[in-house]
Amino acid sequence: MILGRDWIQNNYVNINFYTNRIYLFNGLASTALLLKLFRDPVIMTLSHDIVIPPFHTKFLYGHVPIKSLDDALFTPNVALQHTRMVLIPHSLLHIRNNRGVISVVNNTRHSKMIPRNTPLGFISSSTTTPDINVISASAMDSSHFSLPSISLLSCTHCNVRFSTESALYNHLFHCCNKDLTSTTNTINSLVEHIDNPVKKMKVYIMLHRYSSLFDDSCLQGITCKPQSAINTGSHSPVAEHPRRVSHLNRQVINKEVQKMLHNRIIEPSNSSWAAPVVIVKKSDGSPRFCIDYRRLNTITQKDVYPLPRIDDVIERLNGSKIFSKLDLRSGYFQVPLAPDERPKTAFTTPDGLWEFTRLPQGLKNSPSVFQRLMHQTLGSLRFEICLAYLDDVVVFSPSFEQHLLDVTQVCQVLNESNFKLNYNKCAFFHSEIPFLGHKVTPDGCSPNDDNIRSIMQFPLPQSSKAAHSFLQMVGFYRKFIPRFAQISAPLNKFTSKGFPFIWTEAEQLSFDQLKYALTSPNDDNIRSIMQFPLPQSSKAAHSFLQMVGFYRKFIPRFAQISAPLNKFTSKGFPFIWTEAEQLSFDQLKYALTSPMVLILADPSRQYVIRTDASRVGVGAVLLQTQPSDPNDTSYTPIYKPVAFASRSLKKAEKNYSAIELEALAIWWSVTQKFRSYIEGQISFGN
């Protein structure tokens, strides 16, 4: 029987392919639909994890418990299409070896991940054509209303499917993991900081789905084509003899060689190339296995693929509230090396000659090769939901729900390539993470605590080389230090070759100021300031000013705020305490309870540049307004620092007049230092 469209509309007909029935008159009558066609339907599940890029169609292998079937009718899983926002058409398939091919369309701007064992739909035989169905009016059974239940949750270890996340979580935690204690402990340690039990369960299930990322049994290498990193042209091989080592270092070398052999990172070599092994001390005094590839690097053509700028990477995190950091375990050693270049990596030990099968550390092109590979692996996810700087990947999102999807996509991509993570250095679903030497939060970024500790513990320089090392270390954070060029001027002269090392009070002052410019006020000292009693004399007021003045760099407008108290530092000035002094006292106290951090730039908001100049250098600060309350008509813009910048004067510039120096500071900050921020949106005003 053929039903016309007008008849279907007039009689309120609903055709339900899942219950295999036609419902008429809003359910008052029903009939079986294609009874013979849909006899004993079976579920088709996804054979392997898949990621579908934006605006792409992918053909997927689905698994069915049928060895072979011609002209199989495939009916897609509507629930899957709704939850994943993908399109799956009805299809006529040929089943071979329990597999059939279907197409899935992602018509959105975001990649879509579908895990293996996800039910894709139903398969049924279409070898016969049914007779005409007879429609009979009858009271509908309640079962006619129910749709077949297709679970999207399954255990990746035993393939058991579950209807709820809670059931899967209990299975993973109590049943399936009885033989996976190491994996359980690893994932537990990664989620133990999450207080909300529902969120914790969701993250646990997601990480367990990709537990193979944390497998530390063997570093198998990723599934990509072997990479080329050593183009030496027609240059003849270079070789060096092994260097003499102590008995202790020989044990270190043998242990490292055996470890790399176990992970198939190296293999015995018959190469004409050879580089020596050297053992250097780490900062904690333990030995580090290194290979001296300097001679090989001098004849290697440079790969100029760029590494991301750290400041660009950090600023891209603006607007995010939750972060995850993924650290690749021995990242270079996971990348296969082109077979024709492996002999060039040969290195000598007292016991033999070996060559790398994976990308070694120490080659001049290893960073560029690895960065290119990471960009290719992450594809369209890069800069949208994640960033990669060599073997560090950070995922950033505005909410927990979005972050769960984003981390899932990134883990899926890494898992498809067989990457392995160093779970000890990973951090999932945090509001604050260390990344590229910075501490990143929703409010902005500040120097990493560990690096600041290293700066604070830096010993007093005893040579020009030590002073230069200190300047390089602290200079990494120069954007956090107002007037950096002026403060560091006494130490800068030691960077000139041949300059005699003479340490005076000026150098000592510069050294101390640079050290403490990056430190937030100590909690104990803040507590002492907060508990300072109300001054009852000029001497007490002076003592308070001295205590809080040590941290004046953290207090905007310190001189203006402290003016009412400053008069008590003059000898003989009468002690009279008024509301002005009380206000100054309170403001200075509480100004230190919110230490300054640099905010992450937001291109949608206004920038302000303030400059300064002296006979030593020029400096500037890039500020940005903060979002205002639309209901507050008396709102006064609040400016917070994005970055500080400064530089020393060149020889000719030291002859400039005061007004020329001020103009230089403006020109340099606008056209040089902060141009990447303000280009295209600059305007001048008072």
The Cβ of residue 463 has, within 10 Å, a number of other Cβ atoms equal to: 11
Beta bridge partners of 276: 348
- State the pLDDT at residue 136: 37
Instruction: Assign 342 to helix, strand or coil.
Output: helix
Structure tokens at 617: 């250098």
Question: Tokens 């000719």 belong to which residue?
Answer: 652
- State the pLDDT at residue 37: 41
Question: Tokens 């429609």 belong to which residue?
Answer: 135
For 114, phi and psi rounded to 5 degrees? -125, 120
Number of residues that this document lists for the chain: 686
Q: Which residues contact 433 (CB under 8 A, 6 or more apart)?
A: 323, 324, 325, 394, 427, 439, 440
Task: Report all structural domains of the chain as residue ranges with CATH numbers, in order of start.
Answer: 42-129 (2.70.40.10), 154-209 (no CATH), 247-442 (3.30.70.270), 447-516 (no CATH), 523-593 (3.30.70.270), 607-678 (3.10.20.370)
Q: Which residues contact 167 (CB under 8 A, 6 or more apart)?
A: 153
User: Whole-angstrom Cα distance, residue 577 to residue 614?
Assistant: 37
Q: Which residues contact 388 (CB under 8 A, 6 or more apart)?
A: 308, 371, 374, 375, 378, 382, 394
**Could you say which residues of the chain have pLDDT below 70?**
1-3, 10-12, 16-21, 24-40, 126-182, 283-284, 516-527, 550-560, 588-597, 627-637, 681-686
Q: For residue range 303-345, what is the model confidence (pLDDT) as tens digits?
A: 999 888 887 888 888 888 899 999 998 889 999 999 999 999 9
Q: For residue range 99-142, what is the model confidence (pLDDT) as tens digits?
A: 888 989 888 777 788 888 888 888 887 544 433 333 333 333 33
For 601, phi and psi rounded to 5 degrees? -60, 140
CA 379 from chain centre, in angstroms, equals 15
- State the pLDDT at residue 199: 87
pTM for the full predicted model: 0.59
Cα–Cα–Cα angle for 646, 650, 654, nearest 5°?
100
How buried is residue 146: exposed, middle or buried, by Cβ count under 10 Å (0-12/13-18/19+)?
Answer: exposed
Residue 238 · residue 348 · CB < 8 Å: no
Instruction: Assign 537 to helix, strand or coil.
Output: coil
Residue 391 · residue 327 · CB < 8 Å: yes
Residue 117 · residue 45 · CB < 8 Å: yes
